[in-house]
Amino acid sequence: MQTVLITGANRGLGLEFCKQYSAAGWRVLAVCRCPDDAEALLTLAADSDRVKVLAADIADFGQIDALAAELRGTPIDVLLNNAGVYGDRSGHGFGNLDYSTWLDTLTINTLAPVKLAEALLPNLQEGQRKLIVTVSSLMGSMTDNTSGGSILYRSSKAGVNAAMKSLSIDLAPQGIGVLILHPGWVRTDMGGPNALIDADESVSGMINVIDGYTPAQSGSFLRFGDGKVMPW
């Protein structure tokens, strides 16, 4: 049985990843900040002995270290960095930026995925797939940015893209791969009701890309579903 660790597992894409991976026979380590409030996730775990719910606020790096200690000796095939925040708010664009929120956004979206990779590296080394997957966004692309705005979110996703590209090179000698995924515009709490696709379509498409991963793709920024290379 292969094992995937999923952050932000209590709702949206994270919860859907848990559903689809557990249904496919994977062992799922579902990480969220407040498990007691994660009713849908707890229900899923109660119905499947393949889902284990773990508590960790990934904005608190001490809690990431505690999570790694709890999982010491547990092989992880895929580390799936899904948790993220948007940060930008109406009325707080350039000229009135909320720098404290920007720091929080960078911590969760950019720094935490790297910290998780560091803390859980021994687990990945013991796994079979040895793959780090980060859910990013096309909004992190410089090339695609023709509308401006969303400075907090765009910069955090551009940052994690750059960091993951570096990890793909640094970890290659250990046989550990890195994928950066664009999930599409998804109808979730973050994506909003006007988005183009539902979470199940996005997640099934991303899992299809993950399943088809080859070492030559490590460090690539790929679109859900068809694996198309996205612009940086």
Mean pLDDT value across residues 151-178: 98
What pLDDT sits at residue 171? 98
What pLDDT sits at residue 185? 74
* Tens digits of residue pLDDT in 52-108: 999 999 999 999 999 999 999 999 999 999 999 999 999 999 999 999 999 999 999
pTM above 0.85, yes or no: yes
Query: Do the beta carbons of residue 160 and residue 113 sit within 8 Å?
Result: yes
Residues 6+ apart with CB under 8 A from 71: 5, 29, 54, 120, 123
* Tens digits of residue pLDDT in 3-13: 999 999 999 99
Query: Pick from 169, 107, 103, 185: which is nearest to 132 by CA?
Result: 169
Distance of CA 214 to the CA centre of its chain: 19
80 pairs with which residues across the strands? 6, 133
CA angle 25, 27, 32 (to 5 degrees): 130
Helical residues (DSSP H) of the chain, grouped into ranges: 12-23, 39-47, 61-70, 99-106, 112-119, 121-126, 151-170, 199-211
* Tens digits of residue pLDDT in 175-225: 999 999 999 877 676 666 766 678 899 999 999 999 999 999 999 999 998
What pLDDT sits at residue 150? 97
What does the DSSP 8-state code read for residue 147? S
